[in-house]
Amino acid sequence: MKVMWAPWRMEYILGPKADSCPFCLPDGCNLAESAAERLVLHRGEFAFVLLNKFPYNNGHMLVTPYRHVMHLEDLSHEEARELMNLVTLAVKALKQYCSPEGINIGLNLGQAAGAGIAGHLHWHIVPRWTGDSSFLAVMDEVRMIPQHIRETYANLVEIFRNLSA
């Protein structure tokens, strides 16, 4: 029997399940008050950066507009400009945080392209290292995340604060 411990998943298993878009703020939600709960690392005027709750690697971030928009061409010029600036800021934060050997940046447009949440644009920023897909991923379809997501969040949110100051 193979056992993998992932105690942070219990919060998801037992917690309420959203019927709505996980990137959209519910009515009356104060993003400033719920930033840590939602894993928001940085807020801009039109978009924000957050940690992916289901990461490929430690530090896997998402950059998404506040507005629920699914087509790239529907972004305003201001939204598009800020999204690119936030992707760049996320890359700087990752380089400072964990010195990755490479970084994947991806935007999947539509379910057929692999978008898990096709209705709301979001960029993935994933730090990579040579060999980070170890034998576990190849042999057992298991990925090892070596740091608890709350610890990753605490480290990265401080880096974002410093970079934004």
Catalytic residues: 122
| Distance (Å, whole) CA 126 – CA 116 | 16
What is the three-state SS of the chain? CCCCCCCCHHHHHHCCCCCCCCCCCCCCCCHHHHHHHHCEEEECCCEEEEECCCCCCCCCEEEEECCCCCCHHHCCHHHHHHHHHHHHHHHHHHHHHHCCCEEEEEECCCHHHCCCCCCCCCEEEEEECCCCCCHHHHHHCCCCCCCCHHHHHHHHHHHHHHHHC
Among 104, 152, 100, smallest CA distance to 130 is for 100
